[in-house]
Amino acid sequence: MGLDCRPQREVVIDSSFVWFCEIDWSMWKFLAVGLANVRISMVSAFLCLFLSCGSPQFFAQDMPEGSETFRHASEAMRRGDLNAAGEGFAATTKASPAFAEAHFNLGLVREEQGRFEEAIGSLQKALSLKPHLHGANLFLGVAYYRMNRFTPALAAVNKETVTYPKDASAWMWLGVIQLARDRPEDAAAALDQAAKLAPDNVDILYHRGQAHLLVSKNSYGKMFKTDPKSWRVHQVLAQANSEADRPLDAIAEYQAAIKLAPQQPGLHEELASEYSKAGKSEEAEAELRQELDIDPHSAVALYKLGILQVQAGEARKGKAAIETALQERPGLKNSTYYLGRAEMSLGNNDVAAERFKQTISLDSDPELIEQSWYQLAIVYRKLHRNDEAQKALATFEKLKDENAERQQQRLQKNREAQDQIRASPSNPPKEPDKD
């Protein structure tokens, strides 16, 4: 999309007057920062301010002195020529010292150049001329953040969220700064708000996940300290072992939790899942039945019991259990696959084929989508639909090869990461000044 930054009349955006081009603030949403390695392209951010320019008209009488210099500086900014852009914006501020946007853009250039004190001065000047200039407090906060001055950074970005409460990028930065201040609860609150405003922004989702992980870690730490013998402690340890793919260790912790709280809903169902991972189907089924004795309306336990029955060749019982569970909780993930397996075992191949096609079209686990193509190939052969069977089998082979390649790439990345860790110095980084 071309940029047209010829002079035009002032445009009102959220009560803020902007010279030369209308600002598309939705384009700010890509701004993000890694806490360990902070680097942000202010050139790109600046250009985003101009992406929604319409067809501006020339009104020379409305422009401050030095507007031609400002235009050339803007073009230099677009080319990435920071030195020329800085000189042009500086000249504009001298010619038109009351031109807030020139001070603002000069601040962006100085921030990109790493001249943070100068950036702070320019942004503060812009705000003194136009206190509600959209983005000025945000970039002022970023400049303070880059200098590890988290207290003034927080104050500046907080002003941006108050003035522009629908600016997702401002809420994200507020959360990032709170993370740097070791305030994960406050960070999570800010990042939750950012996610509401921009639910698909990956940078916001990343920082939000980091904040909630820290909140979770702190909560569990306090729990361990408060009551280290609680059954909840064993449950958390079991869940951690499960996530680490250590089912036998998870089984031991769940058993310890159940010993302390034998009637607690959910524990037997979670233990059953670990028994299934360990290949102990009989024990898993027994635990699920105990769970259903405690909580007869546990749709998840009944669903898992149905899956075990289908896998054990008890298709009719398994199908009935899964369908009953779906009445309690419609939309249980992957249910169409296991119903397809049940129908296939019962000889209902047409129905099974439809179930497997549903699995492929729904938000199912990738492994089960792959297996659905394999099962479809078998069902189509039984239905004498040989061409469709060959296509299904070819798709299965393709997905299997792609999955194997992804696994190899993950292994290679893990090896490279381990090599970097071994090669890195052992001294911890210096704790930054947190004001």
Beta carbons within 10 angstroms of residue 351's beta carbon:
16
For residues 199-207, give the mean pLDDT.
94
d(CA 221, CA 349): 52
Residues in the chain: 435
Per cent of the chain over pLDDT 90 is: 69
16 phi and psi, to 5 degrees? Answer: -115, 125
Residue 45 contacts residue 203 (beta carbons within 8 Å): no
pLDDT at 249: 95
- Residue 144's pLDDT band, with cuts at 50, 70 and 90, is very high
Q: Which residue has the higher pLDDT, 130 or 44?
A: 130
Per cent of the chain over pLDDT 70 is: 81
Q: Residue 332 above 50 pLDDT? A: yes
- Residue 413's pLDDT band, with cuts at 50, 70 and 90, is confident
pLDDT at 363: 78
Say yes or no: domain 11-199 is CATH 3.90.700.10: no
pLDDT at 35: 33
For 133, the 3-state DSSP assignment is coil
Residue 226 contacts residue 236 (beta carbons within 8 Å): no
Q: Residue 122 above 70 pLDDT? A: yes
Q: Residue 433 above 60 pLDDT? A: no
pLDDT at 65: 54
Q: Which residue has the higher pLDDT, 51 or 241?
A: 241
d(CA 249, CA 257): 13
d(CA 365, CA 359): 9
Residue 308 contacts residue 281 (beta carbons within 8 Å): yes
Q: Residue 278 above 50 pLDDT? A: yes
Give the residue extent of every domain in the chain. Answer: 11-199
Contacting residues for 431 by C-beta, under 8 A, at least 6 apart: none
Q: What is the mean pLDDT of the chain?
A: 83
- Residue 434's pLDDT band, with cuts at 50, 70 and 90, is very low
Alpha-helix residue ranges (DSSP H) falling in 113-201:
116-129, 136-146, 150-163, 168-180, 184-197
Beta carbons within 10 angstroms of residue 420's beta carbon:
9
What secondary structure does DSSP assign to 328-345, as a single string?
HSTT-TTHHHHHHHHHHH
- Residue 64's pLDDT band, with cuts at 50, 70 and 90, is low
